[in-house]
Structure 1
Amino acid sequence: MPITVDDAYLVPFLPATKPERMIDEPEIATIKELFISSIDRLQADFDEQKFVNYSPSKWVATKYGVDVMNIDEALDFLLYHEGYHCGYILALRHLV
Protein backbone atom coordinates (compact mmCIF):
# COMPACT_ATOMS: atom_id res chain seq x y z
CA MET A 1 0.00 0.00 0.00
CA PRO A 2 1.29 3.47 -0.74
CA ILE A 3 2.22 5.67 2.21
CA THR A 4 -0.42 8.35 2.70
CA VAL A 5 1.48 10.54 5.14
CA ASP A 6 3.53 13.42 3.77
CA ASP A 7 7.30 12.79 3.86
CA ALA A 8 7.68 15.83 6.13
CA TYR A 9 6.03 13.79 8.89
CA LEU A 10 7.71 10.50 8.06
CA VAL A 11 11.34 11.04 7.08
CA PRO A 12 12.46 12.81 10.31
CA PHE A 13 11.29 9.78 12.33
CA LEU A 14 12.79 6.94 10.30
CA PRO A 15 15.25 4.54 11.93
CA ALA A 16 18.74 5.96 12.55
CA THR A 17 17.45 9.54 12.69
CA LYS A 18 17.72 11.94 15.61
CA PRO A 19 15.82 15.08 16.55
CA GLU A 20 16.96 18.00 14.43
CA ARG A 21 14.60 20.68 15.75
CA MET A 22 11.81 21.40 18.19
CA ILE A 23 8.28 20.66 17.03
CA ASP A 24 5.81 23.48 17.66
CA GLU A 25 2.21 23.15 18.89
CA PRO A 26 0.51 23.45 15.47
CA GLU A 27 2.73 20.70 14.07
CA ILE A 28 2.04 18.52 17.11
CA ALA A 29 -1.69 18.98 16.49
CA THR A 30 -1.21 17.94 12.86
CA ILE A 31 0.75 14.84 13.87
CA LYS A 32 -1.95 13.88 16.39
CA GLU A 33 -4.58 14.22 13.67
CA LEU A 34 -2.47 12.06 11.36
CA PHE A 35 -2.28 9.37 14.06
CA ILE A 36 -6.07 9.26 14.32
CA SER A 37 -6.79 9.49 10.59
CA SER A 38 -4.17 6.79 9.88
CA ILE A 39 -5.94 4.41 12.25
CA ASP A 40 -9.27 5.17 10.59
CA ARG A 41 -7.73 4.61 7.15
CA LEU A 42 -6.17 1.32 8.28
CA GLN A 43 -9.57 0.15 9.53
CA ALA A 44 -11.26 1.13 6.27
CA ASP A 45 -8.58 -0.59 4.18
CA PHE A 46 -8.82 -3.69 6.37
CA ASP A 47 -12.62 -3.75 6.05
CA GLU A 48 -12.28 -3.43 2.27
CA GLN A 49 -9.84 -6.38 2.31
CA LYS A 50 -7.08 -4.40 0.64
CA PHE A 51 -4.44 -6.53 2.37
CA VAL A 52 -5.36 -9.87 0.77
CA ASN A 53 -2.09 -9.86 -1.20
CA TYR A 54 0.05 -8.81 1.76
CA SER A 55 3.77 -9.16 1.08
CA PRO A 56 5.87 -10.45 4.00
CA SER A 57 8.19 -7.86 5.53
CA LYS A 58 11.87 -8.77 5.41
CA TRP A 59 12.81 -5.59 7.30
CA VAL A 60 10.80 -6.57 10.39
CA ALA A 61 12.27 -10.07 10.37
CA THR A 62 15.78 -8.68 10.08
CA LYS A 63 15.44 -5.85 12.61
CA TYR A 64 13.29 -7.56 15.26
CA GLY A 65 13.62 -11.27 14.49
CA VAL A 66 9.89 -11.56 13.85
CA ASP A 67 8.32 -13.04 10.74
CA VAL A 68 5.34 -10.98 9.62
CA MET A 69 3.64 -13.10 6.98
CA ASN A 70 0.13 -11.62 6.75
CA ILE A 71 -1.96 -8.63 7.79
CA ASP A 72 -3.03 -10.23 11.07
CA GLU A 73 0.60 -10.73 12.10
CA ALA A 74 1.40 -7.21 10.92
CA LEU A 75 -1.33 -5.79 13.16
CA ASP A 76 -0.05 -7.84 16.10
CA PHE A 77 3.47 -6.55 15.46
CA LEU A 78 2.16 -2.99 15.19
CA LEU A 79 0.92 -3.19 18.79
CA TYR A 80 4.31 -4.46 19.94
CA HIS A 81 6.13 -1.77 17.97
CA GLU A 82 3.98 1.07 19.34
CA GLY A 83 4.42 -0.32 22.85
CA TYR A 84 8.17 -0.24 22.29
CA HIS A 85 7.97 3.47 21.47
CA CYS A 86 5.69 4.12 24.44
CA GLY A 87 8.19 2.44 26.76
CA TYR A 88 11.00 4.66 25.53
CA ILE A 89 8.84 7.77 25.87
CA LEU A 90 7.94 6.88 29.46
CA ALA A 91 11.58 6.18 30.29
CA LEU A 92 12.63 9.56 28.85
CA ARG A 93 9.86 11.34 30.78
CA HIS A 94 11.05 9.65 33.95
CA LEU A 95 14.60 10.71 33.23
CA VAL A 96 13.65 14.34 32.68
Structure 2
Amino acid sequence: METVFKAWATSRKLYLNFFDNYSLEQLNKIPDGFNNNLIWNIGHIIVAQQALIYKGSNLPMYISDNLVNLYQPGTKPTGPTSQTQVNELKELLISLIATTKSDFQKGIFNTYTERTTATGFHLASLSDAFEFNNYHEGLHLGYMMGLSRLI
Protein backbone atom coordinates (compact mmCIF):
# COMPACT_ATOMS: atom_id res chain seq x y z
CA MET A 1 0.00 0.00 0.00
CA GLU A 2 2.94 2.33 0.50
CA THR A 3 3.42 2.53 -3.28
CA VAL A 4 -0.28 3.29 -3.78
CA PHE A 5 -0.07 6.19 -1.32
CA LYS A 6 3.19 7.40 -2.87
CA ALA A 7 1.68 7.40 -6.38
CA TRP A 8 -1.42 9.18 -5.09
CA ALA A 9 0.61 11.91 -3.36
CA THR A 10 2.72 12.40 -6.51
CA SER A 11 -0.43 12.78 -8.61
CA ARG A 12 -1.96 15.26 -6.18
CA LYS A 13 1.20 17.41 -6.29
CA LEU A 14 0.76 17.64 -10.05
CA TYR A 15 -2.84 18.77 -9.51
CA LEU A 16 -1.56 21.41 -7.10
CA ASN A 17 0.45 22.98 -9.93
CA PHE A 18 -2.78 24.06 -11.60
CA PHE A 19 -3.48 26.40 -8.66
CA ASP A 20 -0.07 28.01 -9.10
CA ASN A 21 -0.12 28.25 -12.88
CA TYR A 22 -3.68 29.35 -13.64
CA SER A 23 -5.80 32.30 -12.53
CA LEU A 24 -9.26 31.93 -11.05
CA GLU A 25 -10.70 32.94 -14.42
CA GLN A 26 -8.62 30.28 -16.20
CA LEU A 27 -9.54 27.59 -13.67
CA ASN A 28 -13.21 28.36 -14.37
CA LYS A 29 -12.98 28.66 -18.17
CA ILE A 30 -14.91 26.04 -20.13
CA PRO A 31 -13.43 25.89 -23.65
CA ASP A 32 -15.80 25.63 -26.59
CA GLY A 33 -16.90 22.05 -27.14
CA PHE A 34 -16.24 21.00 -23.53
CA ASN A 35 -18.66 20.63 -20.61
CA ASN A 36 -16.29 21.18 -17.69
CA ASN A 37 -13.19 23.07 -16.61
CA LEU A 38 -9.97 22.65 -14.65
CA ILE A 39 -11.46 23.36 -11.23
CA TRP A 40 -14.39 21.00 -11.78
CA ASN A 41 -11.94 18.18 -12.49
CA ILE A 42 -10.09 18.90 -9.25
CA GLY A 43 -13.33 18.96 -7.25
CA HIS A 44 -14.42 15.77 -8.99
CA ILE A 45 -11.33 13.74 -8.09
CA ILE A 46 -11.66 14.84 -4.45
CA VAL A 47 -15.31 13.74 -4.33
CA ALA A 48 -14.59 10.51 -6.22
CA GLN A 49 -11.79 9.55 -3.82
CA GLN A 50 -14.01 10.10 -0.82
CA ALA A 51 -16.83 8.07 -2.36
CA LEU A 52 -14.55 5.26 -3.53
CA ILE A 53 -12.70 4.85 -0.24
CA TYR A 54 -15.00 6.06 2.54
CA LYS A 55 -18.51 5.64 1.17
CA GLY A 56 -17.49 2.29 -0.31
CA SER A 57 -16.32 1.29 3.17
CA ASN A 58 -19.61 2.48 4.72
CA LEU A 59 -17.81 5.30 6.55
CA PRO A 60 -18.62 9.02 6.66
CA MET A 61 -16.80 11.17 4.13
CA TYR A 62 -14.69 14.18 5.12
CA ILE A 63 -16.38 16.46 2.60
CA SER A 64 -19.65 18.33 2.60
CA ASP A 65 -22.80 17.24 0.82
CA ASN A 66 -22.51 20.49 -1.14
CA LEU A 67 -19.17 19.39 -2.61
CA VAL A 68 -20.63 16.00 -3.45
CA ASN A 69 -23.56 17.62 -5.23
CA LEU A 70 -21.27 19.92 -7.24
CA TYR A 71 -18.61 17.41 -8.30
CA GLN A 72 -20.02 13.88 -8.25
CA PRO A 73 -20.00 11.84 -11.46
CA GLY A 74 -22.56 13.11 -13.95
CA THR A 75 -22.33 16.75 -12.89
CA LYS A 76 -20.83 19.73 -14.67
CA PRO A 77 -20.12 23.28 -13.61
CA THR A 78 -23.26 25.31 -12.98
CA GLY A 79 -21.41 28.60 -12.58
CA PRO A 80 -18.00 29.97 -11.64
CA THR A 81 -16.23 28.56 -8.61
CA SER A 82 -15.33 31.33 -6.16
CA GLN A 83 -11.85 31.94 -4.78
CA THR A 84 -13.09 30.76 -1.37
CA GLN A 85 -14.25 27.47 -2.90
CA VAL A 86 -10.99 27.14 -4.84
CA ASN A 87 -9.05 27.61 -1.59
CA GLU A 88 -11.13 24.86 0.05
CA LEU A 89 -10.46 22.46 -2.82
CA LYS A 90 -6.75 23.25 -2.73
CA GLU A 91 -6.61 22.45 0.98
CA LEU A 92 -8.62 19.24 0.61
CA LEU A 93 -6.50 18.11 -2.32
CA ILE A 94 -3.52 17.61 0.01
CA SER A 95 -5.01 17.22 3.49
CA LEU A 96 -7.14 14.23 2.53
CA ILE A 97 -4.04 12.21 1.67
CA ALA A 98 -2.73 12.38 5.24
CA THR A 99 -6.20 11.80 6.66
CA THR A 100 -6.82 8.75 4.49
CA LYS A 101 -3.37 7.32 5.13
CA SER A 102 -3.82 7.80 8.88
CA ASP A 103 -7.26 6.17 8.80
CA PHE A 104 -5.81 3.25 6.83
CA GLN A 105 -3.00 2.80 9.36
CA LYS A 106 -5.53 2.93 12.21
CA GLY A 107 -7.42 0.09 10.55
CA ILE A 108 -10.80 1.84 10.36
CA PHE A 109 -11.62 0.29 6.98
CA ASN A 110 -13.25 -3.00 7.97
CA THR A 111 -15.76 -3.64 5.20
CA TYR A 112 -16.14 -2.78 1.56
CA THR A 113 -19.28 -2.85 -0.56
CA GLU A 114 -18.51 -4.40 -3.93
CA ARG A 115 -19.62 -2.55 -7.04
CA THR A 116 -18.73 -1.97 -10.65
CA THR A 117 -17.78 1.55 -11.74
CA ALA A 118 -19.32 3.33 -14.70
CA THR A 119 -16.17 2.45 -16.67
CA GLY A 120 -16.71 -1.26 -15.97
CA PHE A 121 -14.01 -1.72 -13.33
CA HIS A 122 -15.20 -4.12 -10.63
CA LEU A 123 -14.30 -3.00 -7.11
CA ALA A 124 -14.23 -6.10 -4.93
CA SER A 125 -12.13 -4.69 -2.09
CA LEU A 126 -10.66 -1.59 -0.51
CA SER A 127 -7.40 -2.38 -2.31
CA ASP A 128 -9.26 -2.32 -5.63
CA ALA A 129 -10.76 1.05 -4.69
CA PHE A 130 -7.35 2.56 -3.96
CA GLU A 131 -5.93 1.22 -7.23
CA PHE A 132 -8.92 2.46 -9.21
CA ASN A 133 -8.70 5.85 -7.51
CA ASN A 134 -5.15 6.32 -8.77
CA TYR A 135 -6.19 5.22 -12.26
CA HIS A 136 -9.18 7.60 -12.18
CA GLU A 137 -7.06 10.53 -11.02
CA GLY A 138 -4.54 9.79 -13.78
CA LEU A 139 -7.31 9.94 -16.38
CA HIS A 140 -8.50 13.32 -15.13
CA LEU A 141 -4.95 14.66 -14.91
CA GLY A 142 -4.41 13.80 -18.55
CA TYR A 143 -7.73 15.37 -19.47
CA MET A 144 -6.74 18.54 -17.60
CA MET A 145 -3.39 18.72 -19.36
CA GLY A 146 -5.21 18.67 -22.69
CA LEU A 147 -7.85 21.12 -21.48
CA SER A 148 -5.19 23.53 -20.22
CA ARG A 149 -3.84 23.95 -23.75
CA LEU A 150 -7.15 25.52 -24.75
CA ILE A 151 -7.24 28.10 -21.98
- Is 2:118 the counterpart of 1:28? no
Q: List structure 1 segments (4+ residues) > 3 angstroms apart after TM superposition.
A: none
Can you give the 5+ residue segments of structure 2 that lack an aligned partner in the other structure? 1-58
Q: Is the Cα contact below 8 Å between 1:9 and 1:31 reproduced in 2?
A: no
Does 1 or 2 have the higher relative contact order (CA < 8 Å, sep 6+)? 2
Q: How well do the aligned residues superpose, as a CA RMSD in angstroms?
A: 1.4
TM-score, normalised with respect to structure 1: 0.85
May I ask how many residue pairs the two structures share in their alignment? 93
Question: What secondary structure does 1:10 align onto?
Answer: helix
Matches within 5 A, 1:1-96: 1-56=59-114, 58-60=115-117, 63-96=118-151
Gaps in structure 1 of 5+ consecutive residues: none
| Superposed displacement of residue 37, structure 1 | 2.0
- Contact 2:112/2:125 (CA < 8 Å) preserved in 1? yes
TM-score, normalisation: structure 2:
0.56
Equivalent residue for 2:25?
none
Letter in 2 for 1:22: P
